[in-house]
Amino acid sequence: MTTQFRKIAGIFGIVSMMGQTLSAQLAPIKSIEGRWDITVTKNGKTSPSWLEVNHSGVKYLNGHFVGDGGSARPISRINFADNKMSFSIPPQWDSAEKDLVVEGTLQDDKLSGTMNTPSGEVLSWVGVRAPKLNSTKTPVWGAPIKLFNGKNLDGWEATGATNQWIVENGVLKSPKSGSNLRSVRTFNDFKLHVEFRYPKESNSGVYLRGRYEVQVTDSEGRDPLKDQLGAVYGFIAPLEMPAKPAGEWQSFDITLVGRVVTVVLNGKTIIYKNEIPGITGGALDSNEGEPGPIFFQGDHGPIEYRNIVITPAKN
């Protein structure tokens, strides 16, 4: 073996050892990396949440968190050692509140722990890995289904104690803030057409499978941000903002296959085959691998819907 060959072999050996060392350093981090569907328990009742954990360099973790309301919020630092995890995030709405503090333990590829809320409550939670929902097959679409018959609320149910939703002149209306409304039927992959109208400054949302909110809000003349009309709330901003003035009828044509969503607003494609990372705030549950309903937000102001037609994919 020549001296030059020995030098080259030595360099490759060092590089190999460095790779093995790096892999060993990343191994504990990789055990918790990924997306987690979380269920929180409070007074015997459950609510959904979501966590994403990413590595930042060799030693550090960061991520995103979604609670039972609001948008996806960044986590600048997640502590993880000896299968124990913790992080904190500042309050989203009221700066006078305390931070949310989350602690958990990783065991058997599942997470469990406690949340110390800004109001001082200590809640228990469990987390399972979120399904990837990848699909390699092109959907075969079934027959269109009219989810709203234009006459009454058959096929729909309010999620709150009282129901303010009414039907007038073929329009499904929520004249004031109150309960949300969900379809009785549930769906996996689908194409959805829905028309909507809101008064100035009002707000609603169309939840896909009851988990992913496509934002409905008065956005004419505004920048296409993650909390404006047509956005997947907190996750995906629209490419442009073809919003009409408040008081005019507008339309969504939405296709959801697995996690991949396309949104057409008023005839213009504003989101094209983007992946939805996880549930959005206000979701009905965090069971992402299951079918879910179409769900309309009715607790943020007056809203009207009509011509609600869904075309499910064949199994």
Give the whole-angstrom CA distance, residue 186 versus residue 28.
39
Ordered structural domains, the chain, with CATH: 31-129 (2.40.160.90), 145-312 (2.60.120.560)
Give the whole-angstrom CA distance, residue 66 versus residue 24.
31
pLDDT at residue 161 in the model: 83
pLDDT at residue 6 in the model: 54
pLDDT at residue 214 in the model: 98
Give the whole-angstrom CA distance, residue 86 versus residue 97.
19
Residue 143, Cβ density class (10 Å: 0-12 exposed, 13-18 middle, ≥19 buried): exposed
pLDDT at residue 18 in the model: 42
Give the whole-angstrom CA distance, residue 13 versus residue 19.
10
Q: Return the structure tokens found at 198.
A: 């809101």
Name the 3-class secondary structure at 190: strand
Identify residue 182 by its one-letter amino acid code: R
What tens digit of pLDDT does each residue of 191-246 get?
A: 999 999 999 999 999 999 999 999 999 999 999 999 999 999 999 999 999 999 99
Name the 3-class secondary structure at 136: coil
Identify residue 110 by its one-letter amino acid code: K
pTM, entire model: 0.90
Residue stretches of the chain with pLDDT short of 70 = 1-28, 93-96
Q: Return the structure tokens found at 103.
A: 């602690």
Helices (H), the chain: 3-30
Sign of CA dihedral 265, 269, 270, 276: positive
In sequence order, the 6+-apart residues with CB closer than 8 A to the CB of 193 are 251, 252, 253, 307, 308, 309, 310
pLDDT at residue 51 in the model: 98
